[in-house]
Copies of this chain bind each other. A is one copy, B any other.
Amino acid sequence: MKVSELGEFGLIDLLAEMAGGGQDEQLLIGIGDDAAAWKGDASIQLATVDSFVQDVHFPSGIAPWNELGWKALAANLSDIAAMGGAPRYALVSLALPDNTEVDDVTALYTGMLELAREYRVAIVGGDIVSAPLVVITITILGSTKDRDKHILTRSAAEPGELVAVTGELGTAAAGLEMLTKKLQFDPQATACLDRAFLHPYPRIAEGQLLVDQGVKTAIDLSDGLISDLNQICKSSQVSARVEIDRVPIEPIVKAQFSEKALELALSGGEDYELLFTARAEVIDKVKRAAACPITVIGEIVAGKEGVTLVDSQGNPFNLGKAGWEHFITR
């Protein structure tokens, strides 16, 4: 069987089973969540790695190198945000073609360092290798704020909880559409979409706020709402109903992409917002404490259906497309 037949998630499940948890008593979370977690002496330690491949994760020539650096680091920091932790150190492995301009590599680092300094992350190591195409792999090491903090996992969702998101969805995917199809919008819309796709801000503070308010379950929206919510359902062995009319969509996306806006919001991915579940009273506390919009979009229910979309009348809604998974061609 080819990996394209099994798919990214099937392959991860297979390899996770092979790796097992082992007999490591300190290990809290192994393969299969946003980050690995283990008990440190004064806090829970977190580690995550992600690779960005030219022409797969970023179309050549669309993202300036500094934005590529910003975005690659942001996507990794977002995994730490989804655990409710604080990032601390980054290791950067760069695979680069021989004819890459040194100025482009320093621009890449300039973008990474801009974000790193804003979030007090130090780039402390890495690796540079020759390759026919650009691959950027970033490892982030972090921890909970202190020993008494729990972490956010994908596996603690329970029927009766509500499903909520930070911010607005679909903007990054709309930005990618704009850039790849060279769509022309007014300056405000252009800037908004450009920034959403190229310059996302990981929700580090919000992840920690979720922990403080008692939320247990979260994931960051990298693959798309449906796909990522499905991960929570699978890990927690529950299902979820999402009311499509409640999904928060940036007005600019609604205005410019009318009929396509919902699809961008449901399966576009790369928004790096946090998707979380909690009882209504906990979500009310989160809403009061958070500086960004918090929107309830559905609920966790029992069963094995995974994610069901419903319209405002409660009727099933079929989108046809479910989010981003590597290797699978839809």
Q: Are B38 and A106 in touch, CB under 8 angstroms?
A: no
With contacts A4-B98, A19-B122, A139-B49 taken as known, whether A326 is within 8 angstroms of B109 at the C-beta atoms is: no
**Is B130 a contact of A53 with CB atoms below 8 Å?**
yes
Cβ distance A188 to chain B, nearest Cβ, rounded Å: 33
Q: In residues 1-49 of chain A, which contact B (Cβ within 8 Å)? A: 1-6, 8, 11-12, 14-15, 18-19, 21-22, 24, 27, 29-31, 33, 35-36, 38, 40-42, 47-49
Q: Is the CB of B27 within 8 A of A124?
A: yes
A289 at the interface (CB under 8 A from B): no
Once the chains bind, are A47 and B15 in contact (CB under 8 Å)?
A: no
List of B residues within 8 angstroms of A29 by Cβ: 124
> Is B125 a contact of A3 with CB atoms below 8 Å?
no
User: Within the assembled complex, what's the spacing in Å between the Cα atoms of A92 and B229?
Assistant: 24
Q: Which of A50, A52, A131: most chain B Cβ within 10 A?
A: A131
Docked complex Cα distance between A326 and B98 (Å): 9
Docked-complex contact B96 and A3, CB < 8 angstroms = yes
> Are A126 and B326 in touch, CB under 8 angstroms?
no
Q: Distance in Å from the Cβ of A229 to the closest Cβ of chain B? A: 20
Within 8 A of B (CB), among A76-111: 89, 91-93, 95-96, 98-103, 105-106, 109-110
Chain A contact residues: over half helix, strand or loop, or mixed?
mixed
Q: How far is the CB of A68 from chain B (nearest CB, A)?
A: 15
A129 within 8 A of B: yes
Q: How far is the CA of A89 from the CA of B48 in the complex (A)?
A: 11
Q: A91 contacts B36, CB within 8 Å?
A: yes
Q: Does A51 make an interface contact (CB < 8 A)? A: yes
Q: Is A141 an interface residue (CB 8 A)?
A: yes
Tell me which residues across on chain B come within 8 A of A122, comparing CB atoms. 19, 21-22, 24, 27, 30
Task: Say yes or no for A63: interface residue by CB 8 A criterion.
Answer: no
A327 engages B106 (CB within 8 Å): no
CA distance A117 to B3 in the complex (A): 26
Would you give the shortest CB distance from A157 to chain B, in whole angstroms? 21
Assess whether A178 is interfacial by the CB under 8 Å rule. Answer: no
Interface residues of A in 122-168 (CB under 8 A from B): 122-133, 135, 137, 139, 141
A22 to chain B minimum Cβ distance, whole angstroms, is 5
Residue contact B2 to A129, C-beta cutoff 8 Å: no
Verify A57–B101 contact, CB threshold 8 A.
no
A123, B89: Cβ atoms under 8 Å?
no
Looking at the assembled complex, report how far the CB atom of A224 sits from the nearest CB atom of chain B, in whole angstroms. 16
A48 touches B102 (CB 8 A): no
24 contacts between A and B (CB under 8 A): A1-B101, A2-B98, A2-B100, A3-B98, A3-B99, A3-B100, A5-B102, A8-B130, A15-B128, A18-B113, A29-B124, A30-B124, A31-B124, A35-B125, A36-B91, A47-B139, A49-B92, A49-B139, A53-B95, A53-B131, A95-B135, A96-B327, A132-B132, A133-B133
